[in-house]
Structure 1
Amino acid sequence: MFGRKNEPAADSPPQPAEPQVPIVGKGTPTPRRKDQEAARRRPLVPTDRKASRAAERQAAVEDRQRVRRALETGDERNMPFRDRGPQKRFARDFVDARFNLGEYLMFAALAFVVISFIVPQAAAAQVFILGAFWIVFLLVFADTFWLSRRLKRALQNKFGEVERGTVWYGSMRALQFRPLRLPKPLVKRGQNPG
């Protein structure tokens, strides 16, 4: 009854031996937690600090190279966070597909500085030079304002809602000289950004 074990009857015939089946599981006992933790244990401070610093430096260099390659090829997985996402990609393509006056603002400013040194210091000449610079600056401002309005409308039409900072991202990209832009432009001027 209680506590008894069922024992095979002594007078029953012996059972035929079962064929040996290979073990399908791991086949080894589960390691003890204590052993696993001891195997993973490492010192908090590395014993060879010089080698550790060199390894960290090498990892940082490889990370920078990976990001640089991503910026040149357009691989979004390795780009910095500020450049990721379909809306940022669309904004880049939208800006790169058009001619922007802002690209040449720095060159215009440099030209005005050089001209102001070359032209005599007469007050009338300086007024014209400064006036011309302000006209160029206002044209760039108007072009960038027009771009931001069109970009915002295009983003709303394509995505419905515009992510915060995307229009500013596109406007600042329009002020950079095209060959120096990162991520590199992937569309030609005049091409439909999609």
Structure 2
Amino acid sequence: MKFLRRGDSNPTSDTSAVDAGAAATVADRSPTAAKGRPTPKRREAQARRRGPVAPAPLTSKEARARRKSLRGTRAERKVDSAERKATVQDRRARMLAGEEQFLLPRDKGPVKGYVRDIVDARRNLLGLFMPLALVLILSMILSPALQAIVTLAMLVMMLFMIIEGVILGRIVNKRVLERFPDSTDSKFSLGWYAFVRASQIRRMRAPKPRVTAGDSI
């Protein structure tokens, strides 16, 4: 049996101290515990930064009050309406003047502008279709006995329109091919574009004609 001397330390206490230090070191090196909740999405984080969302209205009266507050005062609505109206009128005026950036897609491009000039420089019978059709329809309503005559007149008028439309389409395609040999527009689309414009009353055409009837193009 081994007797401990008075100067020796207790081996059991030393071993316990070493074990406690190792456990603390292992605990320090252990990974951080989970947060216990999923990471918020970007949309949710942005919503929290903007502030709390107003609760939904409980009654129709609250809904009307909220819509009224969002619309603003009557004076502000009048100012906004006047600004929108002025903007629309300005865009329409620029479109009628033929400014390229304000034209409809069907009217854009130098080829379409050239076709419009060809049509506007001609005196077309197609432009009389709408007035004559209106006169014939009114005549048939006022005097049913003229129905057969009016029907025959409308058939003759449509025949002349078809003939002139074909002639105009050929003229337009021939001149476009000479002026724009690299054009990608089909012959049918250009002929139809010219036919539709020629069938409109001159002062109602949009964009407005840039040339007068009889000008050489």
Pairs within 5 Å for 1:1-194: 49-50=70-71, 60-119=84-143, 121=145, 125-160=146-181, 161-164=183-186, 165-193=189-217
1:113 CA drift (Å): 1.5
Give me the whole-angstrom Cα distance separating, in 2, the residues matched to 1:42 and 1:73: 46
Amino acid across the alignment from 2:209: P
Q: Deviations over 1:158-177 (max 9, x none)?
A: 10134243332222111100
Amino acid across the alignment from 1:141: I
Amino acid across the alignment from 1:129: V
Give me the whole-angstrom Cα distance separating, in 2, the residues matched to 1:162 and 1:147: 19
Query: Any stretches of 5+ residues in structure 1 without a counterpart?
Result: 1-40
Give me the whole-angstrom Cα distance separating, in 2, the residues matched to 1:42 and 1:75: 43
Task: Find runs of 4+ consecutive structure 1 residues off by over 6 angstroms.
Answer: none
CA contact (8 A) 1:93 1:185 kept: yes
TM-score (norm 1): 0.64
> Structure 1 vs Structure 2: percent identity of aligned residues?
28
Give me the whole-angstrom Cα distance separating, in 1, the residues matched to 2:109 and 2:155: 36
Give me the whole-angstrom Cα distance separating, in 1, the residues matched to 2:103 and 2:80: 20
TM-score (norm 2): 0.58
Say if 1:184 and 1:57 are closer, same or farther in 2 by CA, change over 3 A: same
Match of residue 38 from structure 2:
none
Higher helix share: 2
Query: Any stretches of 5+ residues in structure 2 without a counterpart?
Result: 1-48, 52-68
Q: Deviations over 1:63-104 (max 9, x none)?
A: 422321112322212222222110010011011000111111
Which deviates the most, 184-193 or 69-78? 69-78
- SS of 2:177 mapped into structure 1: helix
* CA RMSD, Structure 1 to Structure 2 (Å): 2.9
Give me the whole-angstrom Cα distance separating, in 2, the residues matched to 1:103 and 1:144: 11
In our comparison, the structure showing a higher alpha carbon Rg is: 2
